């Protein structure tokens, strides 16, 4: 990944994966996550509010490193970077999507779930990837198996990870961080209970040390 930004994998042990339905929630939500020690925030491009949310966080929460997730097309890359995304995450990759992410000027984590996909990215000089869907694709045993033959690949596993399983992932030599949603429970978001989000974020930020 090429950018002045440090590796996304090294910003925090957990990257919150955020689905925002109302852009008005973006700034207080981001502030709560940052206050809890999780500065890297992946806003998924799954809702109509997503780009406005990225734009608002980029403009109003300077301590946040806001990224865009569920980036699945070159147009999505352009839209996300135009809105102020400082990193990009995709659930998978194609040649055209990889080219667009490379050309974007921001760090990116293309998604993989098989050894062949990892090797194909390494062949193209990409060493940092998203492993998705982590639990469904083999979880900790799969990533542990990859660390022997492919030690140069580093991952952010996402998908089905909980506060109980996260420390085991984080103990692997080829895992830099994990992605998760557990610090964003639906009832807390519905109630706009940002204090609870901050508290859960603080617990997540301490998982690497367990």
What is the set of active-site residues?
42, 130
> Most distant CA pair in the chain: distance in Å?
47
For residue 53, cis peptide bond before it (omega within 30 degrees of 0): no
Measure Cα distances from 65 to 92, 134, 160, 209 in Å: 22, 23, 23, 22
Start-to-end CA span in the chain (Å): 28
Helices (H), the chain: 26-35, 50-60, 74-83, 95-103, 115-123, 139-147, 166-170, 186-190, 194-205
146, 45 in Cβ contact below 8 A?
A: no
Q: How far apart are CA 178 and CA 43, in angstroms?
A: 15
């Amino acid at each position: 990944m090429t950018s002045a930004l440090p590796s996304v994998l090294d910003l925090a042990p957990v990257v919150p994966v955020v689905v925002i339905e109302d852009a008005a929630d973006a700034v207080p939500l981001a502030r709560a996550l940052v206050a809890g020690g999780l500065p890297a925030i992946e806003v998924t491009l799954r809702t109509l509010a997503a780009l406005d949310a990225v734009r608002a966080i980029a403009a109003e929460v300077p301590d946040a490193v806001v990224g865009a997730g569920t980036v699945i097309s070159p147009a999505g890359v352009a839209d996300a970077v135009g809105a102020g995304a400082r990193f990009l995450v995709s659930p998978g990759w194609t040649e055209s999507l990889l080219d667009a992410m490379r050309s974007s000027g921001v760090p990116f984590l293309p998604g993989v779930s098989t050894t062949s996909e990892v090797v194909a990215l390494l062949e193209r000089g990409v060493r940092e990837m998203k492993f998705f869907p982590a639990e469904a694709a083999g979880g900790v045993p799969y990533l542990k198996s990859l660390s022997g033959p492919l030690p140069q690949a580093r991952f952010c596993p996402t998908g089905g990870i909980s506060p109980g399983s996260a420390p085991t992932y984080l103990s692997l030599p080829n895992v830099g961080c994990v992605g998760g949603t557990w610090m964003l429970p639906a009832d807390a978001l519905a109630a706009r209970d940002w204090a609870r989000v901050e508290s859960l974020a603080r617990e997540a930020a301490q998982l690497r040390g367990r």
